[in-house]
Amino acid sequence: MLFLIAISIAVLIAFCLDKPLKKCPAAFYITAAVLTVASIMATKSDMTISSRFVRDYVLGIFSRGALGTAFWAVVMWAGALPNGSAPIKKLMPIRGELSITAAILTFSHIITYGMTYITNLIKGRTGSDFVITSIVCLAMVLIMTPLTVMSFKKIRKKMNAKTWKKIQRLAYIFYALIYVHILVLFVPKAQKGREGYFLSILVYSAVFVGYAVMRIRKYYIASKKPENKLVPNTVCVCAFALPVALAGAVSRGTASQSAKPSGVVEEKAATFTFSAETTAVTEAAATTARDGKKSSETTAVTTSETTATEAVTSNKKDEKKSSDDEEKQEEQEHNDEPEQENHEDTPAAEPQPTYKYRSGEYEGEAEGYAGKVHVKLTIENDAITSISAWADDDDPEYFGDAMNTVIPQIGAKVSADGIDACSGATYSSNGIIEAARRALEQAMN
C-alpha cells in the first residue's frame, strides 16, 4: 500500500537523517522541490510509462500526496508523544524542518490535481463530492501556506512567541481537513469494492484518529495530572477503536454488494454504435458479376430466337421444292444445331466477397491507468457496428474522455493502428486501443 511505504520513508528520514536535516535543511528542501517538479512534469506530460510500478509507486507517491501526508503525520505525532520520550527528543528539534519539507512535497499533489479540478470545473463536472473536495482543499491551502512560511527560523524569530503559537494551533484544523479529504475521496471507492481502498481507510484512520486521541490524552495529563492513568488510558483505547471501526464499517458496508464480476460490470459499459457499410471494392465486384450474368443470358436468348425464326421462314419458302431440296434443308438444319448450342454460354458464377475480419462479437482487454480495460466490438462485413468499453479501476472521468476521443477513430478506421490518444488520459486511451487491437486480432480471417 502506497501510504504505508510513504510512512516508512518519512520515519526513516526523520529518525536516521535528523542531524543532516537540522544542519543543512536547504539541501532537503531543494531535493523535495526537484522531485516535486519532476513528478508534476512526468504526470502531466503525454509521455507513456509502461511500468505500472513506476506510475503507481515512484510517481504516485508524489502526485497522489502520499509522501507529503506521511511527513505531516510524522510532524503531528511529534506533538502527541509523551514529553521526555526518546522519539520526541529526536523529532521536536527538527519539527519545523519536517513541516517545510512536507509542504513542498504536498505542492506536487496540489498542482497535479488542482489542474484537474479546474478542467472539471470548466467542463461542468461539479457533483456534490467535487464541491466538498474543492472547499476542503482550498481551506487546507489557505491554512498550510502561512503555517509553512512561519516555520522558517528567520520568520519565527521576528514574531511574538504567543502570537506564533496561537497561529500554529490552526494546524489542528489542517490535520482534521486532511483526514476529511481522504474520507471523501476513498469511502465511495471502497464501497464500490475498489481494491486497496478499504485497507487505506483503516490505515489513515489509525494514524489520524490515533493522533487525535493521543493529543487529547497528553493535554489531559498535563493539565489534570492524575495519579492513576488507567482510566484515561482505557478511555483513549475506546476512543481510538470506535472511530476506526466506524470508518471501516461505513466504507465496507456495501463493498460485498458492489464488488461484481467483469460480466456484471459490462452492463455499465459505454457503447458506441456505427452504421454497417460494405466496402466499395466489394460492392463493385458484386455489381460487375451480376451485370455480366444478365448480359450473357440476354445474348443467349436473343440468338436462340433469331435462329428459330429463320428456320420457320425457310420451311415456308421451300414447300414446293423437290424432295432432294428438302433433304438438303434438313441436313443443313441438322448441321446448324450445334452452332445454335454454341451460342448458349453457361452463366458466370457470382464471385463471393472476401473479408479481412469474421463477423461476430469479439472482446479484448489490456492494462489501463489503474487496472484492466475491456473492449467488446461487433463486426459485420468488415465494418464495426458497435464498440463497448469499460474499466475496472480507471477514473471514470478520465476514462470517459479517452473513450470519446479514441473509440470513434477505431470505428471509422476499423483498425487500432494510427489512433490518436486523448491528451490528459494517455494511459486509459492506450488501454482502450490495445484492448481493441487484441479483439480485432481474434476476428482476423
Confidence of residue 281 (pLDDT cuts 50, 70, 90): very low
pLDDT at 2 over 50: yes
Residue 101 pLDDT class (50, 70, 90 cuts): very high
198 and 1 in contact (C-beta within 8 Å)? no
What b/e string do you get for 268-286 counting C-beta neighbours within 10 Å, with b at 16 or more? eeeebebeeeeeeebeebe
**pLDDT (0 to 100) of residue 322:** 47
Residue type, 351: P
Looking at per-residue pLDDT, the higher value among 443 and 271 belongs to: 443
Using pLDDT thresholds of 50, 70 and 90, give the confidence band for residue 32. Answer: very high
Share of the chain above pLDDT 90, in %: 32
- pLDDT score recorded for residue 212: 94
pLDDT at 1: 74
Band of residue 125 on the pLDDT scale cut at 50, 70, 90: low
Question: Per-residue pLDDT tens for 375-390?
Answer: 999 999 889 999 999 8
Which whole number is the average pLDDT over 311-325? 45
Query: Quick one: pLDDT at residue 315?
Result: 45
DSSP state of 59: I
Give the separation between CA 96 and CA 342, rounded to whole angstroms. Answer: 107
Residue 28: pLDDT above 90? yes
State yes or no: pLDDT of 278 exceeds 60.
no
What pLDDT does 328 receive?
52
Nearest-angstrom CA–CA distance, 275 and 431: 25
Confidence (pLDDT) at 345: 57
pLDDT, residue 269, reads 67
Instruction: Note the pLDDT of residue 134.
Output: 81
The total number of residues shown for the chain amounts to 445
436: phi then psi, degrees, rounded to nearest 5: -65, -40
Q: List all residues 6 or more positions away from 222 whose beta carbon is below 8 Å from its beta carbon.
A: 83
The amino acid sitting at 273 is T
pLDDT at 263: 44
Per-residue pLDDT band at 296 (split at 50, 70, 90): very low
Q: Give me the residue label for grid cell 467542463.
A: 123
Highest mean pLDDT: which range of 105-109, 165-169, 342-346, 422-426: 165-169
What is the three-class DSSP state of 375? strand
Within a 13 Å sphere around the CA of 205, how many CA atoms are in the beta-carbon half?
Answer: 23
pLDDT for 292 beyond 70: no
pLDDT tens per residue across span 219-228 = 888 888 888 8
Return contacts of 106-109, CB within 8 angstroms, 24+ apart.
Answer: 106/65, 106/68, 106/69, 106/72, 106/144, 107/36, 107/68, 108/35, 108/36, 108/39, 108/40, 108/62, 108/63, 108/65, 108/68, 109/62, 109/63, 109/64, 109/65, 109/68
Give the cell for residue 267: 452492463
Q: Which of 119, 93, 90 is nearest to 12 (CA)?
A: 90
What is the C-alpha to C-alpha distance for residues 203 and 183, in angstroms, rounded to an integer?
12
Judged against a pLDDT cut of 90, whether residue 9 lies above it is answered with: yes
What pLDDT shows up at residue 260? 43
**pLDDT level of residue 52 (50, 70, 90 thresholds):** confident
Nearest to 181 by CA among 68, 258, 56, 259: 68
In the predicted model, is pLDDT for residue 289 greater than 90?
no
Contact 57, 98 (CB under 8 A): no
